[in-house]
Chain A
């Protein structure tokens, strides 16, 4: 019985994680071909194709896409931390209102993702609410180019990923002993000093975890940059989509996916270490 129980997750991982990964890896080493599926595997006669991975390393188009994705993910994670740190601490200290506030953070999480993106588009587009109001107030003549900008993209990313950052900060903040800040005050620390020297250092592991929890999924984000970002935001998710569906170059797309995974392996391992030490 125990063996069977252990077999279920093993089978799950083998079927839904390992097998697709192996497939993607094989594809990354295959040749583009006409047909369905549009590639010929290494054993079909042509052997292993090293060009896909080499292309990623050499062609600035792909290199930049990967680099830009990491930058956008880091910016998103950093902005999320800036917002989530005060939020998480405040919610942890809210007393009776705590559950309501936590619900308010999670509520958007449970509503449709595309609806929220649609709402941002409605707010930010040239004839959107913000531009209409500004124009009605007479503050602007021409609509501000809010939508399809880096700002709109980051706004959407932060909005979507914020709960991932708030929860670990909140959980760590509830475990803080409020007497410690009093002790710091008693020893002559101003409230700001006490926060910087006592509260913040104790939250550091949680802040790092929150950063990675946002950074890792944000690096591969496709929908938000596509719908809110500028046309020239060639993030890896978008490039991957183009290779797969427009160029029908499955091997290059697969190589990109493998490269992103390899880049994220470091942060993922770091995150798991943090989880174990916390």
Chain B
């Protein structure tokens, strides 16, 4: 099946800076993809290339198999929700939402019906006549979403759609966004710098750094098996232990005074591995995949406690101690830690 969106080796340079470096990526129809990266990672440039506001120096962008090269933004069946929302200040909510349909030259009755439907989808009934400056941030966000959705685009691009909302509204709006995406059947490509948002909303997450795609995977896989040190660091929370590969395919970590052994031999050239805090438990065993240390801090987190354990080799690692395992050991307690082999995730550089 032809992917909805297909990017092949897309490269874009600005005055010597490579903003996009050979990005290849397919997005299926009806898929929700998150582009995750820090500022300067190229994620927004990629979105602008897809929308047609930037022309790639090389590589192709195609939609349902049709090359978009040379197609100006106003003729692309792609719509974008801008980070600033870009609502037209001199138009009412209804006029904003209907703008794209008027440009298509739709009959007035159809425009009115579709605008009313879009207003209902984003729950803005009664606000149709207001100007954007008389709306709250959350309401503006909904107008921007409705304005982009009402054209029934095959692909919707969202630039930090939840970025300007406060934490409370974020979670709820995120769920709504997900529901709207499922219902509309459009493919969504969302840019975000917030890993929690990406993992929570997307079917697949593409992690970008310095113009390159580092890993594209479903949220759970990305979370459990980050491919590189950068991805593991960016997703946060994982313990990253550096070490030297031994001849038999284990990783000896000097700073943790322990040996990490994965189910299969660790690839050559690997110098680090990740272990998630919740995969580490307090045990009495010794040998590979165990370490000894002292509890330095313990923080209660509701369903679990977060322990900071100083290992014999000097490294500080995070251990998530589930509450059903009993009260966590107090500060200063010497502990033995252990983890399963499949918790060891080798990281490429």
Contact = CB atoms under 8 A, between A and B. Distances in A.
B143 to A, nearest CB: 12
Contacts of B100: 187-188
B97 to A, nearest CB: 10
Nearest to A188: B103
A179 interface: yes
B151 A187 contact: yes
Interface stretch (B76-84, B111-119, B290-298, B313-321): B76-84
Interface in A155-192: 177, 179-180, 182-191
A177 B84 contact: yes
A201 interface: yes
Interface residues of A, number: 19
A190 B103 CA distance: 9
Nearest to A193: B103
Nearest to A197: B99
Given A193-B103, A202-B89, A183 B82 contact: yes
B61 to A, nearest CB: 15
Contacts of B147: 187
A75 to B, nearest CB: 28
A186 B73 contact: yes
Contacts of B169: none
Contacts of A190: 74
A53 interface: no
A198 interface: yes
Contacts of B89: 180, 202
A187 B84 contact: no
A189 B74 contact: yes
A177 B84 CA distance: 10
Contacts of B80: 183, 186
A186 B148 CA distance: 9
Contact of A188 (B51, B74, B87, B88): B74
Given A184-B99, A189-B103, A201 B74 contact: no
Given A182-B53, A182-B73, A187 B90 contact: no
A188 B76 CA distance: 8
A183 B103 contact: no
A39 B164 CA distance: 72
B104 interface: yes
Given A187-B99, A188-B104, A179 B72 contact: no
A186 B74 contact: yes
A192 to B, nearest CB: 10
Contacts of A180: 86, 88-89
Given A184-B99, A186-B73, A202 B82 contact: no
B84 A179 contact: yes
A197 B99 CA distance: 9
B84 A186 contact: no
B103 A186 contact: no
A187 B103 contact: yes
B72 A182 contact: no
A193 B72 CA distance: 14
Given A177-B84, A186-B79, A201 B90 contact: yes
The 8 A-B pairs of least Cβ separation, nearest first, read: A187-B100, A188-B103, A183-B86, A185-B73, A179-B86, A185-B74, A201-B90, A186-B80
28 contacts: A179-B82, A180-B86, A180-B89, A183-B80, A183-B82, A185-B53, A185-B72, A185-B73, A185-B74, A186-B51, A186-B73, A186-B78, A186-B79, A186-B82, A187-B79, A187-B99, A187-B100, A187-B147, A187-B148, A188-B75, A189-B74, A189-B99, A189-B103, A190-B74, A191-B74, A193-B103, A198-B88, A202-B89
Interface of A: 177, 179-180, 182-191, 193-194, 197-198, 201-202
Given A185-B72, A188-B104, A190-B74, 15 more contacts: A177-B84, A177-B86, A183-B80, A183-B86, A183-B88, A185-B74, A186-B73, A187-B74, A187-B100, A187-B147, A188-B74, A188-B103, A188-B151, A189-B74, A197-B99
